[in-house]
Amino acid sequence: MTRFLTVCTVLLLAFCTALDAADNPAADAPQGKVYVYKQPAGQPRQMEIYFPPNHDPATAKVPGVILFHGGGWSGGNLSQFRVACDYLARRGLVAATANYRMLSKAEANQLPAGETRKRVCVTDAQSAIRWFKQHAAELGVDPQRIITGGGSAGGHISVLATTNPGLDDPADSRDIDTSVVAYLLFNPAFSPDDAKDEEVDALRHLKSGFAPAIVFFGSEDPWKDGWDAVYERLKTLGNTTTDVRIAEGQRHGFFNRDPWQTVTLIAADRFLVQRGLLAGDPILEPPASGEKLIPSP
């Protein structure tokens, strides 16, 4: 049975990685200003940052958001969240999207038993969040009001980066924590198979103080079962600030394309307004075709 579940997980990962790649937005989305947040062994890890109109870091200290792309912990790129970052910056946030180390298949095959390729992704996500906070003054960001999240694998690593302190890069300053005030999670990919590596198993690291989150899933997404286990764990911990929205009939990666990209961005915007991290109304119009997200119990 264990071997069967592992094979199923591998097939699911391959299928959803392909969906992530196919559904990434077109390259004509605007590119943010490029920064290097770390450069181990001469290999730069990059972050693209988008700033609000007329933003003056010397006088403005606004909330910041950092989003991580999906791609099965082995692919994907910064194009996935350029549209979202551009939109959130126009609404008043300093918005960033960061890449992270991904092991090749050969490198992953060399890992010791019980260690998965996902660990290095989480470590870099921690570094990115710390860099964002460390450079808050020059970016015009309030380091006490940082939001994170991502899509699929990026959603997974954003949660682990902020809940598991065990995967720190030794070069990072431990004086800067990775705590956040909210999450934007687009079909985050959690798997029962993660239990084999406790460092990347969200169920082992969730705590009662988990920050408020909005979570988007398609009703037909094969990764939803993994999220449901995380959601049940949060509820047993007394969490009441996780807002789950379902797109009926949609599969993995649905949020990457319109009309659902617009629908999810409007919902994320309203969630951030409710949390006091944005003000005013969304500047996107709901699609005329009428697609709506359904709140999950």
Q: What is the pLDDT of residue 20?
A: 54
| pLDDT (0 to 100) of residue 9 | 45
pLDDT score recorded for residue 70: 98
Distance CA(155)–CA(225), nearest Å, equals 15
Q: Which residues pair with 68 in a beta bridge?
A: 98, 150
pLDDT of the residue at 28: 59
pLDDT at res. 169: 96
Whole-angstrom CA distances from 210 to 70, 159, 162, 202, 239 are 22, 9, 9, 12, 7
Helical segments of 220-279, H only? 224-236, 260-274
Which residues are CB-contacts of 287 (< 8 A; sequence separation ≥ 6)? Answer: 258, 259, 262, 263
Strand order in the sheet with 182-186: 33-38, 45-50, 94-98, 62-68, 141-151, 182-186, 213-218, 242-247, 294-295
C-alpha neighbours within 13 Å on the C-beta side of residue 293? 27
Task: With beta carbons less than 8 A apart as the criterion, state whether 143 and 133 touch.
Answer: yes
Provide the pLDDT for residue 29.
77
Q: What angle (nearest 5°) sits at the alpha carbon of residue 280, between those of residues 277 and 285?
A: 115
**Whole-angstrom Cα distance, residue 37 to residue 115?**
25
Domains and CATH numbers, the chain: 2-295 (3.40.50.1820)
Q: What is the pLDDT along the chain (297 residues), one digit of tens a residue?
A: 444 444 444 444 544 544 454 445 444 578 999 999 999 988 999 999 999 999 999 999 999 999 999 999 999 999 999 999 999 999 999 999 999 999 999 999 999 999 999 999 999 999 999 999 999 999 999 999 999 999 999 999 999 999 998 999 999 998 999 999 999 999 999 999 999 999 999 999 999 999 999 999 999 999 999 999 999 999 999 999 999 999 999 999 999 999 999 999 999 999 999 999 999 999 999 999 999 999 998
CA distance 36 to 128: 9
Amino acid identity, residue 288? A
pLDDT confidence of residue 41: 86
- pLDDT value of residue 34: 98
Looking at residue 294, its pLDDT comes to: 97
CA-based end-to-end distance of the chain: 31
Q: Find, among 206, 55, 69, the residue nearest to 124 by Cα.
A: 69
**What is the reported pLDDT for 174?**
87
**For the chain, what is the largest distance between any 2 Cα atoms, rounded to a whole number of angstroms?**
59
Q: What is the helix (H) or strand (E) element at residue 205, kind and residue range?
A: helix 202-205
